[in-house]
A and B are shown apart, each in its own frame.
Chain A
Amino acid sequence: MSSTIRGHTESSLDVPALESEDNAAKITISNVGKVFVSDNKLTTALTKTNLIVRDGEFLVIVGPSGCGKTTLLRILAGLETPSFGEVKIAASNSDRPLHSMVFQERSIFPWMRVIDNVAYGLRVRGVNRRVALERANEFIAKVGLTKFAQAYPHELSGGMKQRVSIARAFANDPEVLLMDEPFASLDEQTKLLMQEELLHIWDENKKTVVYVTHSLQEAVLLGDRVIVLSAHPGRIKAEVTVNFPRPRYHQLTTTPEFYALTSHLWELLKDEVVTANQLDGLYTNQE
C-alpha cells in the first residue's frame, strides 16, 4: 500500500485563517467556548474556539481527558449550549436533520427491537412508519445485522449493539455525523473490526464526520484531519492533515508512515497529557 503524508500544518486556531480557505464549510464554529459552574466557581471547559469542518470531511479531535473535546462535540449535538460563540451547520436539504450522534453501545434502547432502534431518528422526525422501517432495514443490512432485525438488544453482543448505534445514526441521513468515542468500551479485536466497518460505510456516502477519541491510532486511521486539543482549559493546540489514500484498511497501521504520524501526534499531545495529569515534576528532569 502506498501512502503519503503530505505534511501537516500546525497553527494556533485563534487566528481565523481557515475561514477564507474553503467555501464548502459544513460546520462553522466561531468563538465557541463553554464555562461551567462548580462549587460556586467558574471553570472553563473550552476556551474560545474557531474551527471549520469542510463538507465531506472526516475530522477527528484528540486530546487528554478533560480537554473539552467531548464538550465541543456535545455543543455540536445540541446537548450543551455554548457559553459564548456560535455553531453553524450548513443545511443542504431542509428535510434532513442537521446532526446525528453515534453514541456508545449502551445507548441502544433495551425496550426496542433492533429495527425500531435503528428507525428511531426517522420516526421521531415523523417519517412514515413503512418508509422508516424500510430505511432502517437497509442500514441494518449494511452493518450485517439482518438476521437480528427483530431481536432485542440483550440478545446482541457489544459489537453488534455498536453496529445498531451506527446504523441508527446513518439511517437518519443527517447533514453531519457526530461520534464520541463510539468504540471506547469495546474489546480490542471488536474495535478493530468496527473501525474497518465504519470506514467502509463512510466511504459509501462520505458524510461530514466529527469524531472524538483518545486513541491516536484511531485518529490517524479514520481521519482526514486531526485536531489536537490542549488540557485545562481546552484549546486547539495543533492540527495535522492525514493524507493516506482511501479506502483505508487496517494494514495501514503497520506502515512506517502511519507510525511516523502517530508518533508525531503523540509528541504534540504528550505535554498536554502530562499537564492534565499534573505530572510536571516527573518529566521536567528528563526533558
Chain B
Amino acid sequence: MSPDLTSKDGTAHISREILRANRNRKILHHSLSIAMPFFLLLLWEILSRQGWIDTRFFSMPSQIAVAFWKLIENGQLLKDVTASLTRVLVGFAIGGIPGIIIGILMGQSSVIRSLLNPIVAAIYPIPKLAILPLLLYIFGLGEASKYAVIAIGVFFILVVNTMTGAMGVPAIFTEVGKEYGASRLTIFRTIVLPSALPVIFAGIKLAWGTAFLLIVAAEFVGAKSGIGYLIWNSWQVFSIEQMYVGLIVIAFLGFITLLILDGLEAKLLPWRKHV
C-alpha cells in the first residue's frame, strides 16, 4: 500500500473524491428525472405547432395552460375539486372506519371470521363500478350515491387488508404480552393494533387510490360538479383543453394526497418496515 493512501491527508483526499463523485451522480439523476417531463411537454408543444400531431386530440400544452387559468379564474376548478374531495372524504369515512373495525374483529376472532369471511370473499371481487347503477337507483342522483359507491369500494379493501394485518401478528409478540400478564384488551392495544398498523396503512393507501377511480367514474354519470363531471362535460362540449385540465388535476390530486399519506405514515410509524 502506498504511503499516500495510508497517510491521513491522502485518505481524506480520496474520501472527499469518492463522496463528491457520489453526490454528483445523485444530482445528475435527480436533474434528469425532473427535466424529462418538461422535455416531453416542450416536444409536444413543438410537434403540435408544426402540425405533426392532431391538435383535435392532443391540445397544445400552451392552450391547456390557458384553459387551466380560465377555470381557476372563474372559480369552477376550485368548486369541482372541493366537490370531488368532499365526496371522497365523506365516503372514505363512512366505509373506511367500519371496514377497519370489522377487519380487526375478523382478524382477532375466528368465530367472527367464520361468520363473515365467505360473504366478504364473495363480494370483494365484484367491481364496485358494476353496482353504481344499482346505487343510483337506490340513492338517487344526489350526493348519497357518490358517498355510497366510495364507501362500499373502500370498505371491502380495508376489511381484507386489516384482517390480514390483524391475523399476521407474530405469535411471539402476543406471547410476550401474555407472559407479562397483560389483559386481552391491553394485548390488543399495545401489541395487536400497532403490529397490524403498517398493513392497515397499506390498505388505506390502496383504498384511497380506488376512491379516486370511483369518484371520477361516479361523477361521469349524473353529477353537476366534480372533476369527473368536468372531464365528461368537456367531452360533451368538445372542449378538449378543459378535459386535459381535468386529467391533470385529478392526477395531481391523487399524487399529492398519496404523498401526504406517505408522510403521515413515516411520521406515525417510523418502524413500519421492520415489523
Contact = CB atoms under 8 A, between A and B. Distances in A.
A152 B274 contact: yes
A279 to B, nearest CB: 31
Interface in A116-168: 120-121, 124-125, 152-154
A124 B183 CA distance: 8
B274 A110 contact: yes
A172 interface: yes
A153 B170 CA distance: 16
A78 B179 contact: yes
B178 interface: yes
A104 interface: yes
Contacts of B172: 103-104, 106-107
Contacts of A112: 194
Nearest to A101: B179
Contacts of B186: 124
B180 A111 contact: no
B179 A152 contact: no
Interface in A64-101: 77-79, 97, 99-101
Q: How large is the interface on B (under 10, 10 to 19, 20 to 34, 35 or more residues)?
A: 20 to 34
5 residue pairs, one from A and one from B, having the closest CB atoms: A154-B274, A111-B194, A121-B180, A124-B182, A110-B271
Contacts of A125: 180-181
Nearest to B194: A111
Which of B181, B190, B197 has the most chain A CB atoms inside 10 A of its CB? B181
Interface residues of A, number: 23
B195 A111 contact: yes
A97 B274 CA distance: 30
Contacts of B179: 77-79, 99-101, 103
Interface of A: 77-79, 97, 99-101, 103-104, 106-107, 109-112, 120-121, 124-125, 152-154, 172
Interface of B: 170, 172-173, 175-182, 186, 190-191, 194-195, 197, 269-271, 273-275
A111 B269 contact: yes
Which of A77, A110, A172 has the most chain B CB atoms inside 10 A of its CB? A110
A154 B275 CA distance: 9
A93 B269 CA distance: 39
Contacts of B173: 107, 109
B269 A120 contact: no
A154 B271 contact: yes
B177 A103 contact: no
Contacts of A153: 271, 274
Contacts of B170: 106
B181 A97 contact: yes
Contacts of B270: 152
A97 B181 CA distance: 8
Given A110-B271, A110-B274, A78 B178 contact: yes
Given A111-B275, A124-B186, A152-B274, A97 B194 contact: no
Contacts of A77: 179
8 contacts: A103-B172, A103-B176, A109-B176, A109-B191, A109-B194, A110-B275, A111-B195, A154-B271
Given A106-B172, A111-B275, A153-B271, A124 B178 contact: no
Given A97-B181, A107-B172, 12 more contacts: A100-B179, A101-B179, A103-B179, A109-B176, A109-B194, A112-B194, A120-B180, A121-B180, A121-B181, A125-B181, A152-B271, A152-B274
Nearest to A120: B180
A79 B273 CA distance: 29
A101 B176 CA distance: 8
Given A103-B172, A111-B194, A172 B180 contact: yes
B55 to A, nearest CB: 54
A107 B275 CA distance: 10
Nearest to B170: A106
A78 B271 CA distance: 30
Nearest to A121: B180
Contacts of A109: 173, 176, 190-191, 194-195
